[in-house]
Amino acid sequence: MDNICQDTLLPMIKVETFGEKIRTLREQNEMPLRKLAALLDLDQSTLSKIERGERKANADMIERLAKIFKVNKKELQVSFVSDQVAYNLLEEEFGKEILEVAEQKITYFKKIRKSAHV
């Protein structure tokens, strides 16, 4: 999936699922599916399904993948969580509006936490 975000408010980014990101990293590192599956302690068919988007990954994979491929954990975390958010809002009629309000709430919640810890 080589879709590009066309929203003029956002920088141009390559849009790919967490599973596609895993496949990209694996292929860039010329690592066979069976080897990565073994390193992640997964069945090869399970990893293949995750890469194809037929099965969801779990958060435990993020740290291990970051170490295996020597990539920034943040990049993987953003990809993983954004998949979860997108899937949760996929069928919502007002998905974009929900995201906008959620962003405002994140800022609000951070202020509350910060003032509570002062």
Q: Which CATH number fits domain 3-91: 1.25.40.390, 2.40.160.40, 2.40.128.20, 1.10.260.40?
A: 1.10.260.40
Structure tokens at 79: 């990809």
| pTM recorded for the entire structure | 0.77
User: Tens digits of per-residue pLDDT, 52-102?
Assistant: 999 999 999 999 999 999 999 999 999 999 999 998 998 899 999 999 999
Helix (H) or strand (E) holding 115, with range, is helix 95-116
Domain coordinates in residue numbering, the chain: 3-91
Cβ-proximal residues to 56 (8 Å cutoff; 6+ apart), any chain: 50, 83
